[in-house]
Amino acid sequence: MFYSKIKAVGAYVPEYTVTNDDLSKIVDTNDEWISSRSGIRRRHFSKGENTSDLAAKAAEVILKKAGVKAEDVELIVVASVSPDYATPSVSCLVQSKIGAVNAVAFDIGAACSGFVFGLSTADKFIKSGVYKNALVIGSEVLSKYLDFEDRGTCVLFGDGAGGAFLERSEEGGILSEDMGSDGARGLSLTSGFRNVVNPYCEGERFIHSYIEMDGREIFDFATRTVPKSVEALIEKAGISVEDIDIVVPHQANARIVQIVARKLKIPMEKFYLNMEEYGNTSSASIPIALNEMDNKGLIKKGDTVLITGFGAGLTWGSMLIKF
Ligand code: UT7
C-alpha cells in the first residue's frame, strides 16, 4: 500500500496590492464595510500575468523547496476557474513553462474546493502506484472576472497561486478526506457563461463572463456544510477534534470561519487566516496560506493539519494531512 506525503508547499502572488480604500475610489464601498463583513483589507491584482504565469512561478518555488527537477515531475494537476484559455489547459501551459517534459498534465474545476479536489485526485494516482509524485497547484487571476461596478463581488476576490509537491511514501501524508457537491444550488455563484449561438441555432448572444454571486446563499451554505464535512472527516479518520493541530480553511470570509470554529468547538487560535492580505483567491487560498505558514515555521513535522474548502459548484472538500 502506498501513501502520498507533501514534500513541499509554495506560492506566488503578484506584487501589486489594492487596499479597500483604493477600491472605494472606483466603487461605492468603504474599508469599514469590507473589513467588518469579510475580514479583507487588501488583495493582490495581476498587472498582466495570466493564470498559467502565476501557476508556473508557484511551481518553480515548490520544486526548489522540494529539491526536485522539473523533468522528474510525473503528474501536474492545476485547479482553476480562471484559466488563460478554454484550451490548452493551465497545467499544460505550466508544464511547458517549467520544462516538466515527462509529466502528464490536466486541469480540474472545483472552484474554491479545487485544491482539495486536486490533492485528492493526485493522491489516488500515487496510492494506486500509477505515479510516484505530483505537483498540485491552485491558480487564479480572478480580477479578470470581476465586475468593478458590482460592489457585492469586486471587493472580495484577489489573484494568486499556490500548491504542493506530493510524493509516494511509506506513511500518510494524506490521511483522510470528505468531499461533496450540490449542483442543484450551483447557480448561486457563476462566472464565464455563454449561450449557444451558431449558424444552426440562431439567437441573441448572451455572455455573462463576470462573477455573479448570491453572497447570503453561499454564506449559509458554507456555515452549514463545512462543519458537517469536518465532522464526517474526523469520524472517518477515527480521531477527535483535539488531535487537529492546525486548521487552514478556504479564505473567503473571517465571519464564516468564526461560525465554523464555534460549531466545531475548535478554538480560533488553531485557524490560520490571511484573507486580510489576499482576499478570496479561490483554489489558491489554501496553498497560499500553507506556504505562508511554512515560511514562518508555523507547521512542524508531525503536525496534523485540516484543510477545508467550499465554494462554487457548489462544492466542498475537507482533508486531514500529516506533515
Ligand atoms: O469562495 C466562496 C465564495 N464566496 C463566499 O464565500 C461569500 C459568502 N458570503 C459572504 O461572504 C457575505 O454574504 C458577503 C460578504 C458577500 C456580504 O455580506 P452580507 O452581510 O451577507 O451583506 P449583504 O449582501 O446582505 O448586503 C448588506 C448590505 C446591502 O445593502 P442594503 O440592501 O442592506 O441597503 C448591500 O447593498 O450591504 C450592501 N453592500 C455593500 N456596502 C458597501 C454590499 N456590498 C457592499 C460593499 N460596500 N462592498
The CA–CA distances, whole Å, from 12 to 74, 166, 260, 306 equal 22, 18, 28, 22
Q: Which of 182, 211, 213, 219 to mutate to test ligand 1, by most ligand atoms within 8 A of the CB atom?
A: 219
Q: How many C-beta atoms surround the C-beta of residue 250 within 10 A?
A: 30
Q: Domain check: are 26 and 128 in the same one? A: yes
Q: How far is CA 265 from the centre of its chain?
A: 24
Q: Domain check: are 136 and 186 in the same one? A: no
Question: How does pLDDT run across 90-100, given as a tens digit for each residue?
Answer: 999 999 999 99
Taking the alpha carbons of 164, 166, 172, 176 in that order, is the dihedral positive or negative? Answer: positive
Residue whose CA is closest, atom 43 of ligand 1? 152
Q: What mean pLDDT comes out for the span 24-52?
A: 98
Q: What is the pLDDT of residue 172?
A: 78
Question: How does pLDDT run across 116-146, given as a tens digit for each residue?
Answer: 999 999 999 999 999 999 999 999 999 999 9
Question: How does 85-105 read in b/e, with b if 16+ C-beta sit within 10 Å?
Answer: eeeebbbbbbbebbebeebbb
Question: How does pLDDT run across 177-210, given as a tens digit for each residue?
Answer: 999 999 999 999 999 999 999 999 989 999 999 9
Q: Domain check: are 73 and 209 in the same one? A: no
How are beta strands 174-181 and 315-322 bridged, if at all?
antiparallel
Residue whose CA is closest, atom 42 of ligand 1? 29
Q: Domain check: are 132 and 63 in the same one? A: yes
Phi, psi of 103 (to 5 degrees): -90, 150
**Residue 81 pLDDT > 90:** yes
Portion of the chain with pLDDT greater than 70, in percent: 100
Question: How does pLDDT run across 102-114, given as a tens digit for each residue?
Answer: 999 999 999 999 9
Q: Domain check: are 145 and 272 in the same one? A: no
Share the mean pLDDT of the chain: 97
Question: How does pLDDT run across 244-258, given as a tens digit for each residue?
Answer: 999 999 999 999 999
Set of cell numbers at residue 42: 487588501
Check: CB of residue 4 under 8 Å from CB of residue 172. Answer: yes
Q: What is the pLDDT of residue 1?
A: 78
**Residue 166 pLDDT > 90:** yes
What's the domain range around 107? 3-170
Q: What type of residue sits at position 32?
A: E
The single residue listed with the C-alpha cell 490536466 is: 106
Q: Domain check: are 188 and 117 in the same one? A: no
Is 154 an annotated catalytic residue? no
Residue of 283, 279, 277 lying closest to 312 (CA atoms): 283
Is 112 an annotated catalytic residue? yes
Q: Which among 140, 170, 200 is the end of a domain? A: 170
Q: What is the pLDDT of residue 171?
A: 87
CATH of the domain at 279: 3.40.47.10
The total domain count for the chain is 2
The number of the ligand 1 atom at minimal distance from the alpha carbon of 154 is 48
Q: Which among 148, 170, 192 is the end of a domain? A: 170
Q: What is the pLDDT of residue 280?
A: 98
Sequence-distant (6+) residues with CB within 8 A of 211 are 142, 145, 146, 147, 153, 157, 189, 190, 191
Portion of the chain with pLDDT greater than 90, in percent: 98
Which one from 50, 253, 280, 291 is the annotated catalytic residue? 280
Under the banding of pLDDT at 50, 70 and 90, the label for residue 80 is: very high
Q: Which among 119, 140, 170 is the end of a domain? A: 170
Sequence-distant (6+) residues with CB within 8 A of 273 are 39, 249, 251, 254, 257, 289
Is 208 an annotated catalytic residue? no
